[in-house]
Amino acid sequence: MKSVIDIPDLSVEEIDELIKTAGDIALHPEKYAKSCEGKILATLFYEPSTRTRLSFTAAMMELGGNVLGFSEPGSSSAVKGESVADTARVVSCYADIIAMRSPKEGAAFVAAKNATIPVINTGDGGHAHPTQTLGDLFTIYREKGRFNNLTVGFCGDLKYGRTVHSLIEAMSRYPDVRFVLISPDALKLPTFVKYEILARHNVLYTETDSLEEALPSLDILYMTRIQKERFTDPAEYERLKDSYILTVEKLASAKSDLCIMHPLPRVNEISVKVDKDPRACYFKQVENGKYMRMALILKLLASAKENPETEDLLAGRSVLINEMKCTNPRCITATEQELDHVFRVVDAEAGICRCVYCEKKMKADSGMMKRVVRR
Ligand code: CP
């Protein structure tokens, strides 16, 4: 493991190891205070962030390392047209590890392909946000002591919520996990998550638009913000923005050991009065995210030291190169035109492929499928 772009890059065993390390860091921070002395983390943030950027900064500082970077594209040479690939090559000369957030889906993949140091995806558009999921998993482990035999409710924006998709992907690997998907019709979980994750892992799930009905059955409630920035129609956002508001009154019907989570930032979907409820775990989740990021930095720096060669992110994959163009306007290939259009084959018989950058599903014709390359 050299870079982390999405949750499937990490095996269950690797996640268990990270949780163990994070737990030890939380208990004995002094043991780790010099672990990254002389090491530099570069935080390249092309999109706003409070938690992720500052928790990575705090994580590296608490490990004894240093941090450099930028927090908006306007203060980088991105405004002059510098590509993500060139930025990653350049920053590899200054730092030992990169944490990158971008609105372009696949930006972290391109960075990892071109950097000579590990890259951590800290959010690429609506695609993935794996370190949020790692913090979420650590929180569930600390609160519940297990990942199996849990009923997990996801509430709010299940369509655009990348943290929801990633946590579903991660939790689906454990036995006896049930999901309750609570959303308005317009923000339901995308079908690709249902078919490619839930169906593949044989996970039981129900869908409802009623938080009140779902609450009594839940062990974990994962609230989400309706994400204004992902809507193209402002009127649609106005219609949906107040779909769910968790209040003290509603919580009366919930289990006494319910764990209430939220990736934050919140707008109004959890009343501030809920913060005093011992079941509110969302600020603990923030702290847990920092410990998990410390564990991840340690793991990736150790892996890079053991195996300094550049990682081939497509190794072992069957791919199509420049046979068709990704049609996702948010994909990094839409704006960085020098990039090859690469698709990995997910169903050779049906010609179903996915863009390696943004995971957009596309269908190749039989002629294209004859030119599949094995990496
Ligand atoms: N949860 C999260 O990613 O928060 P930020 O956008 O503030 O980093």
pTM above 0.75, yes or no: yes
Counting residues of the chain whose pLDDT is more than 70, the rounded percentage is 100
Mean pLDDT of 301-319: 87
Type of residue at 17: E
208-250 pLDDT, tens digit per residue, is: 999 999 999 999 999 999 988 778 889 999 999 989 999 999 9
Q: Which residues participate in catalysis according to the annotation? A: 51-52, 80, 101, 129
Residue nearest to atom 4 of ligand 1 (CA): 51
Q: Compute, in angstroms, the gap from residue 55 CA to the centroid of ligand 1.
A: 10
Distance between CA 261 and CA 218 in Å, rounded?
12
The Cβ-side half-sphere exposure at 113, using a 13 Å CA radius, reads: 17
The two three-digit tokens of residue 311, written as one number: 């990682």
Q: What is the mean pLDDT of residues 315-332?
A: 94
Q: Per the structure block, which two tokens stand in for 31?
A: 């043991």
Residue predicted with more confidence, 312 or 200: 200
Name which of 100-104, 120-124, 227-231, 352-356 the model is least confident about: 227-231
Alpha carbon distance 244, 214 (integer Å): 12
Three-state secondary-structure class, residue 59: helix
Residue 49 CA, ligand 1 centroid: distance in Å: 5
At residue 192 the predicted structure's pLDDT band, cuts being 50, 70 and 90, is: confident
Determine the residue of 45, 46, 51 to mutate for testing ligand 1's pocket, defined as the one with the most ligand atoms within 8 A of the Cβ atom.
51
Name all residues whose Cβ lies below 6 A of ligand 1: 49-52, 132, 263-265
Separation of 54 CA from ligand 1 center, angstroms?
9
Q: Residue 325 C-alpha to ligand 1 middle, in angstroms?
A: 31
Whole-number pLDDT of residue 312: 81
What atom in ligand 1 is closest to the CA of residue 52?
Answer: 8
Nearest ligand 1 atom to the CA of 264 is 1
Least Cα distance to 246 among 274, 284, 204 occurs for 274
- CA atoms of 287 and 297, how far apart (whole Å): 16
Which residues touch 306 (CB under 8 Å, ≥6 apart)? none
Distance 111 CA to ligand 1 centre (A): 20
Nearest CA to ligand 1 atom 5: 49
Please, what is the Cα angle at 122 between 188 and 328, to 5 degrees? 50
Which H or E run contains 110?
helix 107-114
User: Which atom of ligand 1 lies nearest, measured to the CA of 50?
Assistant: 7
The reported pLDDT for the residue numbered 363 is 96
N-term to C-term CA, the chain: 18
Atom 3 of ligand 1, nearest CA residue: 52
- Name every residue whose Cβ is closer than 8 Å to that of residue 258 and which is 6 or more positions away in sequence: 215, 218, 219, 220, 221, 251, 279
Averaged pLDDT of the chain = 94
pLDDT in tens, 225-236: 998 877 888 999
**Ligand 1 atom at minimum distance from 101 CA:** 8
For 31, residues 6+ apart whose C-beta sits below 8 A from its C-beta are: 24, 25
Two structure tokens written together for 146:
């297990």
Query: For residue 3, is pLDDT > 90?
Result: yes
pLDDT of residue 307: 84
Report the residue among 264, 288, 292 best suited for mutation to probe ligand 1: largest number of ligand atoms under 8 A from its CB: 264
Q: Order of strands across the sheet with 177-182?
A: 204-208, 177-182, 150-155, 220-223, 259-261
Q: Is 183 left (phi over 0), alpha (psi -120 to 50) or beta?
A: beta
- pLDDT for residue 309 is more than 80: no
Pairing, β 204-208 against β 177-182: parallel
147-169 pLDDT per residue, tens = 999 999 999 999 888 899 999 99
The pair phi, psi for residue 285, each rounded to 5°, is: -60, -40
Burial label for 69, CB within 10 Å (0-12, 13-18, 19+), is buried
pLDDT tens, position by position, 11-29: 999 999 999 999 999 999 9
Q: Is the pLDDT of residue 1 over 70?
A: no
